[in-house]
Structure 1
Amino acid sequence: MPDIELYTTKFYTTCTLGGIIACGPTHSSVTPLDLVKCRLQVNPSLYKSNLQGWQNIIKNEGGVKAIFTGFGATFIGYSLQGAGKYGGYEFFKHYYSTWFPNLYSNYSTLVYLGASGTAEFLADIMLCPFEAIKVRQQTTMPPFCKNVFQGWSKIVSKEGIAGLYKGITPLWFRQIPYTMVKFTSFEKIVESIYSYLPTPKSQMSMLQQISVSFTGGYLAGILCAAVSHPADVMVSKINNERAKDEEMLAATKRIYNRIGFMGLWNGLTVRIFMIGTLTSFQWLIYDSFKAYVGLPTSG
Structure 2
Amino acid sequence: MSASKSSDVKPQQAKRGAVDFVAGGVAGLFEALCCHPLDTIKVRMQLYRKSGKKPPGFIRTGINIVEKEGFLSLYKGLGAVVIGIVPKMAIRFSSYEFYRSFFYDENGKITAGQTFLAGVGAGITESIMVVNPMEVVKIRLQAQHHSMKDPLDIPKYRNAPHAAYLICKEEGFKTLYRGVSLTCARQATNQGVNFTVYSKLKEYLQKREGKEILPSWQTSGIGLISGALGPLSNAPLDTIKTRLQKSSYASNESGLVRIIKIGKQLVKEEGINALYKGITPRIMRVAPGQAVTFTVYEYVKDLLTKESGAGINLSGNTPNKKNSN
State TM-score, norm by structure 2: 0.80
Partners of 1:101 and 1:5 in 2: CA distance = 23
Q: What is the aligned partner in structure 2 of residue 217 from structure 1? A: 223
Structure 2 matches for 1:21-60, cutoff 5 A? 21-43=26-48, 48-60=56-68
Q: Is the 8 A contact 1:19 1:286 kept in 2?
A: yes
Partners of 1:221 and 1:144 in 2: CA distance = 34
Structure 2 matches for 1:119-158, cutoff 5 A? 119-124=122-127, 125-142=129-146, 144-158=156-170
Amino acid of the residue matched to residue 181 of structure 1?
Answer: V
| Secondary structure of the structure 1 residue equivalent to 2:216 | helix
Q: Which of 245, 251, 258 is 1:251 aligned to?
A: 258
Report Cα offsets for 1:81-122 as digits up to 9, x if no partner. Answer: 1111012223332x314xx525963x5223312322222222
Partners of 1:134 and 1:52 in 2: CA distance = 22
Q: What is the aligned partner in structure 1 of residue 117 from structure 2? A: 114
Measured on the aligned residues, the alpha-carbon RMSD in Å equals 2.4
Q: Is the 8 A contact 1:25 1:75 kept in 2?
A: no
Q: Which has the larger radius of gyration?
A: 2
Q: Which runs of 5+ in 1 are unaligned?
A: none
Structure 2 matches for 1:1-299, cutoff 5 A? 8-43=13-48, 48-61=56-69, 63-93=70-100, 95-97=101-103, 100-102=104-106, 105=109, 107-124=110-127, 125-142=129-146, 144-195=156-207, 197=208, 199-202=209-212, 206=213, 208-241=214-247, 243-245=249-251, 246-260=253-267, 261-293=272-304, 294-296=306-308, 298-299=314-315
Q: Report sequence identity in percent.
A: 21
Partners of 2:60 and 2:293 in 1: CA distance = 28
Q: Is the 8 A contact 2:30 2:293 kept in 1?
A: no
Partners of 1:157 and 1:168 in 2: CA distance = 19
Partners of 2:265 and 2:75 in 1: CA distance = 30
Q: Is the 8 A contact 1:104 1:110 kept in 2?
A: no
Partners of 2:55 and 2:87 in 1: CA distance = 32
More helix by share: 1
Q: Which runs of 5+ in 2 are unaligned?
A: 1-8, 147-154, 316-325
Report Cα offsets for 1:35-85 as digits up to 9, x if no partner. Answer: 111011111668623333233223322x22222111101111233211110
Q: Is the 8 A contact 1:24 1:77 kept in 2?
A: no
| Secondary structure of the structure 1 residue equivalent to 2:113 | helix
> Could you say if the C-alpha distance between residues 77 and 117 of structure 1 is closer, same or farther in structure 2, counting changes exceeding 3 Å?
same
| Secondary structure of the structure 2 residue equivalent to 1:264 | helix
Q: Is the 8 A contact 1:12 1:90 kept in 2?
A: no
Partners of 1:256 and 1:242 in 2: CA distance = 18
Deviation of the 1:222 alpha carbon: 1.2
State TM-score, norm by structure 1: 0.86
Partners of 1:192 and 1:6 in 2: CA distance = 32
Which 4+ runs in 1 deviate beyond 4 A?
4-7, 44-47
Q: Is the 8 A contact 1:77 1:128 kept in 2?
A: no
